[in-house]
Chain A
Amino acid sequence: MYHKTKSYRIFSVFNYIFLIAVSLMCIIPLIHVLAVSFSDKSAANANLIGLWPVNFTVDAYTKTILNENFIRSIWVTLERTVIGTIFSMVVVILAAYALSKDSVNFRRRNIYIWFFVFTMLFSGGLVPMYILVQKLHLMNTLWVLILPGAVSVWNIILLLNFFRGVPKEMEEAAFIDGAGHFRTLISIYLPVSMASIATLSLFTLVGHWNSWFDGLLFMTDHRNYPLATFLQTVIVQQDFSKVTVRPEDLENISQRTVKAAQIFIGMAPILMVYPFLQRYFVKGIVIGAVKE
């Protein structure tokens, strides 16, 4: 057995050390930000902080929460995330159900499929989209954050593949009892695919939370910025003119600890739902629902 050879044991030790080191490299930056956000601002400016807060204080968080622009952007993000996820999932589920039917019984199916898939391969790009949104008078509305990304072709494909795995006997039983397509979807397909739908919803939700470019592109008024766009302007572009009114805010918002606090608030929800996202790898539940 190779496990017992001396050389393999030595390799094993180094392997463990290496894997631990790489894992640390993936979380140390996050821990550092967390440490800075809970530190005293003079310690932060003197670069004294490693992985543990120096002179622990929640000052940075208080300042962040007192900034009304920050709070407003969180509100915009919550709105777009909740409405956007529900809207997108409804559209995706309906389309996925219809497209999961085979083309013998639903002849137009393949035409529809290619119609959607083509948009994954080719797009009009940035500028035509920008002009379109202007012409539709969607600039500065919540809808511009929700509608353009609502039809996720990738999610439709994942879900339709899942729906295909649902035993045909279940839907046939429903049809015999006189149910229509809509009723079958609600009473048969949705209950058995709750796990997949929840996972896709979480992915959509994370996408909405992280999405920043549409806010930057389509919102000319900074008061409509979602959180990610707000963070992009303040932390990355370091452009405070758009998001501060009073001079006393400027000092607060540009401070390193406050930036760290904002970054941490920006990623905290993702870290919280992350364990659930991992369920993606746990496979479905339909098998065994019906006896052949």
Chain B
Amino acid sequence: MKTSVQPNGVNSKESVTVVGTVRRKSLWKTTIGLDLMILPALILTIIFSYIPMAGLAIAFKNYKPGLGFSKSKWVGLEHFQYLFSIPENVQIIWNTLIIAGLKMVAGLIVPFIFALLLNEVRKMRFKKAVQTIVYMPHFLSWVILGGILSDLLARDGGLVNQVLVSLFGIKPIFFLGDGNWFRFVVVISDVWKEFGFNTIVFLASLAGINPALYEAAEVDGAGRWQQTRSITIPSLLPITIVVGTLALGNVLNAGFDQIFNLYNALVYDKGDIIDTFVYRLGIIDGKFSFSTAVGLFKSVVSFVLIVSAYRISYKLANYRIF
């Protein structure tokens, strides 16, 4: 075995271990065992990931289940032209961008501020308890939360409307039946469910700030607000950039599970997103080819966004997942 080999595409952390092992030389006789271990995952991935990718070809055809895959007529980009020529379809792309964009911004700001505030707490037990509680909704499914929300937000007798009516004397709000309120509810409830997760990410990086910085600031007579502004917030910038850019990859993912479990025909104009549209069109109406074309458009754009997001966050903050 050559000792100077530097395998392609490995990061620096790996090459350290590589050097260590090479010096000792591998004791295995063969790698067939390793291939066999990968085999089950490989077969499942081919069947359930790569074959559907090949199936994307029906986006360029007029797929009829009766005719089968190969006999269906080839229509080229017809479905894509149709997608962008109808205003209602373009509206759905807009809905997706608006909802996903609002979620992204709110989903970054809220945990950021919350982590800063939680960081000021000195009682460890209290801190831990708050963390535990706010992280919990993350694990509940949107089916459960959809059920809870539609009960809480009901126009007649929902807990939220009862409180609002008795406090402000306003008319009950039709949260899930009015398009603008619907978007608002979607963004707020998503933040409510997920902010605990990013809070923990931010807290972890707050814990990593060198205490000497604060001590020095203290000696210089800086108050807590000044310390926060000049030490804490700048120290959080790298992780914020990472979380933010990685969220960019989700800009066409407005949250199928959530929308599907909250929406109804009344709010299609403002609340329908690409994924729910594809489901209704493809599975319910059976327009296989057109809905696949819509899905393909989304997959391609998302792919480009995710890859560039990882590149950007690697460049800006030296972040790598593996």
Contact = CB atoms under 8 A, between A and B. Distances in A.
Given A102-B18, A232-B143, A270-B139, A127 B58 contact: yes
Contacts of A116: 41, 45
B283 interface: yes
Contact of A181 (B24, B37, B117): B37
Given A124-B56, A172-B27, A130 B42 contact: no
A278 interface: yes
B55 A131 contact: yes
A39 B268 CA distance: 35
Contact of B283 (A25, A127, A271, A274): A127
A277 B132 CA distance: 11
A180 interface: yes
B53 A147 contact: no
Interface string A209-253: 011110001000000000010011001100000000000000000
A42 interface: no
B26 interface: yes
Interface residues of A, number: 99
A254 interface: no
Interface residues of B, number: 96
Contacts of A284: none
A129 interface: yes
Given A19-B121, A181-B37, A104 B5 contact: yes
The DSSP consensus for interface residues of chain B is helix
Interface string A108-121: 10101101110101
B283 A217 contact: yes
Interface string B186-199: 00000010001000
Interface string B137-148: 101110110111
A176 B27 contact: yes
Contact of A102 (B17, B114, B121, B157): B17
Contact of A110 (B5, B9, B17, B227): B9
Interface stretch (A57-65, A66-74, A90-98): A90-98
A290 interface: no
Interface in A147-167: 147-148, 150-151, 156-157, 160-161, 164
Contacts of B132: 278
B52 A106 contact: no
Contacts of B55: 124, 127-129, 131-132
Interface string A70-85: 0000000000000000
Nearest to A123: B299
A94 B133 contact: no
Contact of B44 (A11, A19, A91): A91
A211 B144 CA distance: 11
B291 interface: yes
A277 to B, nearest CB: 7
A175 interface: yes
A122 B53 contact: yes
B117 A267 contact: no
A32 B35 contact: no
A119 to B, nearest CB: 4
A127 B141 contact: no
Contacts of B9: 110
B136 interface: yes
A282 interface: no
B139 A15 contact: no
Interface in B101-148: 114, 117-118, 120-121, 126, 129-130, 132-137, 139-141, 143-144, 146-148
Interface string A255-291: 0100110010011001100100110010000000000
A116 B40 CA distance: 12
20 contacts: A2-B223, A2-B224, A8-B224, A26-B133, A94-B40, A98-B37, A102-B7, A104-B21, A110-B8, A110-B10, A119-B45, A125-B292, A125-B298, A126-B279, A126-B295, A151-B41, A181-B37, A231-B143, A266-B141, A266-B144
Interface of B: 1, 5, 7-10, 14, 17-18, 20-22, 24, 26-28, 31, 33-35, 37-38, 40-42, 44-45, 47-56, 58, 65, 114, 117-118, 120-121, 126, 129-130, 132-137, 139-141, 143-144, 146-152, 157, 159, 162, 192, 196, 200, 218, 223-224, 227, 256-257, 260-261, 275, 278-279, 282-283, 288, 291-292, 295-296, 298-299, 303, 306-307, 321-322
Nearest 8 A/B pairs, CB to CB: A124-B52, A128-B55, A125-B295, A210-B141, A47-B157, A181-B33, A128-B52, A95-B41
Given A26-B136, A108-B35, A267-B144, 16 more contacts: A19-B130, A27-B136, A29-B148, A30-B148, A36-B151, A104-B5, A124-B52, A124-B54, A125-B292, A126-B295, A132-B52, A181-B33, A181-B37, A213-B256, A213-B257, A231-B143
